[in-house]
A and B are shown apart, each in its own frame.
Chain A
């Protein structure tokens, strides 16, 4: 039997069962499903209105001076999360680390969902997305990072879908093969995404090898955070306690998250130190981040809520308490959006003609997102949220793998704190 669908039942029966499970999810579940669906539809409508009816110049906040803005930041947010989920899922599923095994299926599905959310947002940002589908193949530019990004992510999403299908069919060898290829394409794609910015040598804040490496580290952190966040939510949806193997897995993921938080903090510290001895553009960006228009985002949203507080929560959890880990994960996910936004926008705030000292470029460029842009961002959130909620019901919380249903009762926190000698000591994270 595959998840939620007995082998002798028809597809029609499976679908009917899945629909029944969705509608029996309870009022809270259905409320959030409806809310995310509304966000998705409203965001798509806003994007279509912006690009095809009034024109993005009127609807979006991006300008000639800051052409890459919130929607590009959102795209990077989703695809970095997707690659992170793929990487974290692979630790158990591909590389055989037992404690990470239970998270694999949900993580692979979430990886597919988040990458599709990224595609949705970028699709509503591009002025002519249909031409991309044509000329990506008919007129390729092999020196372009965006061309490679399109190709690598296309392969990755196909491989992720194949991996998930093979997992559902219990075809372990095929799923491992697809997963392994998915990791390779994922890492290539995420570092290349960093290269999209890092190879623009006219943009000193982006230019250099920092971003491609940082994106890989950031992806791992986002993958950990997303696994913890969505898994805890999934158990709430299923109204079941976190059983021992899954609680163990989340504790292990939490430790990895703590490590990656430390890595990201050191990345950030050295980045800021390096900026302090950089050129004029870099100094201006550093000042904007430390004491200028981005100071609140940097100190509160990025450093405070995105690094220091989550790190403290991870330490407090001591690898046992799921509650603090869940809160830390939610904070990391929330704040990383601002991290992406700051990274994208701050790289463009210094005018190209700043050195000339001319009147037209005497001030740093400014950017404010518009309502249309925010709605498109929410479309991505809506797709992720709705698809996650549907996935949990359609695939019945991935029970066969996780062994759910054996429920030992109690709250997730209680269960997580119980001794788990069966799996302890098997994983070093």
Chain B
């Protein structure tokens, strides 16, 4: 099969102008390598976002301004867990809870490197099961940023959001009297003019890249839309449309 040559540079500059034919060709390429990787579903290398968000213009795909997301480059993670500590310190996360975690996978049969570290956190889903399940809208999708927020004063502590979350990203915080979760440091940083999250700032290996997916010039946009490395998400089958992407490189 001969694919029509694709001009990635043009596409990245004018993502709205991608023709339907180009999209189909991208999808064909994607199908060649689609599979399960590290527990997550690999997305088409060229259209990772297309797989997660509906096809359409960039404004339709990324309805928030800014559309915050995080790209995690797992092969860079050394498992130092400074991100976990930084998050806990910045957001007053108690010892019995976590907003982000670094999971460790050991494959003794592997050739060469036998350990892999996988950071996890709230995926700030575009179709968040926790938000649908909450009876009193104590957790909600922020209309401007797309961050899944908590209104602590409303939380009744039924914990259905904890059961609904496909990422186990929520816990009940006694001190707050409400369920707590990652808010991309909105409360402690973004709302005060900050541009990064505590976990990103603490990472010595630049594993976590945080930014605006609706900005074609941003690092996260380029990482999600590049061709060279596979991009995947966790729990794609739940159709939660997560905003945490995983890649290598």
Whether A67 pairs with B103 at a CB distance below 8 angstroms is no
- Taking the closest CB of chain A, its distance from the CB of B213, in whole angstroms, is 23
Q: How many residues of B sit at the interface, in one of the four size bands?
A: 35 or more
Query: Which of chain A's residues have a CB closer than 8 A to the CB of B101?
Result: 360
Q: Counting CB contacts under 8 A, is A64 at the interface?
A: yes
- Taking the closest CB of chain A, its distance from the CB of B123, in whole angstroms, is 11
Whether A139 pairs with B136 at a CB distance below 8 angstroms is yes
Q: Name the interface residues of B127-178: CB closer than 8 Å to any CB of A.
A: 129, 132-138, 153-160, 162-168, 170-172, 174, 177-178
Partner of A200, one of B97, B134, B135, B163: B163
Q: Counting CB contacts under 8 A, is A323 at the interface?
A: no
Interface size on A, residues (CB 8 A): 43
- Taking the closest CB of chain A, its distance from the CB of B241, in whole angstroms, is 12
Q: Counting CB contacts under 8 A, is B21 at the interface?
A: no
Whether B129 pairs with A200 at a CB distance below 8 angstroms is yes
- B165-193 toward A: CB 8 Å interface, digit per residue (1/0)? 11110111010011000000000000000
Whether A139 pairs with B172 at a CB distance below 8 angstroms is no
Query: Which of chain B's residues have a CB closer than 8 A to the CB of A351?
Result: 168
Q: Name the interface residues of A98-139: CB closer than 8 Å to any CB of B.
A: 126-129, 131-132, 135-136, 139
Whether A135 pairs with B168 at a CB distance below 8 angstroms is no
Partner of A127, one of B118, B137, B177: B177
Whether A147 pairs with B103 at a CB distance below 8 angstroms is no
By DSSP majority rule, is chain A's interface helix, strand, loop, or mixed? loop
Q: Counting CB contacts under 8 A, is B206 at the interface?
A: no
Whether B168 pairs with A352 at a CB distance below 8 angstroms is yes
Query: Which of chain B's residues have a CB closer than 8 A to the CB of A348?
Result: 163
Query: Which of chain B's residues have a CB closer than 8 A to the CB of A422?
Result: none
Asked whether A144 and B105 contact (CB < 8 A) given A67-B159, A135-B156, A352-B235, the answer is: no
Q: What is the total of A-B residue contacts with beta carbons within 8 Å?
A: 138
Query: Which of chain A's residues have a CB closer than 8 A to the CB of B177?
Result: 127-128
Q: Counting CB contacts under 8 A, is B227 at the interface?
A: no
Q: Name the interface residues of A128-168: CB closer than 8 Å to any CB of B.
A: 128-129, 131-132, 135-136, 139-141, 143-147, 149-150
Partner of B156, one of A127, A140, A361: A127
Q: Counting CB contacts under 8 A, is A28 at the interface?
A: no
Whether B105 pairs with A359 at a CB distance below 8 angstroms is yes
Query: Which of chain B's residues have a CB closer than 8 A to the CB of A141?
Result: 132, 134-137
Query: Which of chain A's residues have a CB closer than 8 A to the CB of B154?
Result: 131, 135, 139
Whether A353 pairs with B103 at a CB distance below 8 angstroms is yes
Query: Which of chain A's residues have a CB closer than 8 A to the CB of B238?
Result: 201-202
Whether B157 pairs with A356 at a CB distance below 8 angstroms is no
Partner of B159, one of A62, A135, A357: A62
Q: Counting CB contacts under 8 A, is A180 at the interface?
A: no
Query: Which of chain A's residues have a CB closer than 8 A to the CB of B106?
Result: 359
The closest CB in chain A to the CB of B103 belongs to A358
Q: Name the interface residues of A344-391: CB closer than 8 Å to any CB of B.
A: 348, 351-353, 355-361
Q: Counting CB contacts under 8 A, is B96 at the interface?
A: yes
Q: Counting CB contacts under 8 A, is B89 at the interface?
A: no
Q: Counting CB contacts under 8 A, is A68 at the interface?
A: yes
Query: Which of chain B's residues have a CB closer than 8 A to the CB of A150?
Result: 135
Whether A131 pairs with B39 at a CB distance below 8 angstroms is no
Whether A135 pairs with B103 at a CB distance below 8 angstroms is no
Q: Name the interface residues of B72-99: CB closer than 8 Å to any CB of A.
A: 96-97
Q: Other CB < 8 Å A-B pairs besides A127-B158, A144-B134, 13 of them? A: A64-B162, A64-B168, A64-B170, A64-B171, A128-B156, A141-B135, A146-B158, A147-B136, A200-B133, A203-B163, A348-B163, A352-B235, A355-B39
27 CB-based A-B contacts, threshold 8 Å = A56-B172, A64-B162, A67-B160, A68-B163, A127-B155, A127-B172, A128-B156, A128-B157, A131-B156, A131-B157, A136-B135, A141-B134, A144-B136, A146-B160, A199-B133, A200-B133, A201-B166, A201-B238, A202-B129, A203-B163, A352-B165, A352-B168, A356-B105, A357-B105, A359-B103, A359-B106, A360-B103
Q: Which residues of B contact A (CB under 8 A)?
A: 36, 38-39, 96-97, 101, 103-107, 118, 120, 129, 132-138, 153-160, 162-168, 170-172, 174, 177-178, 234-235, 238-240
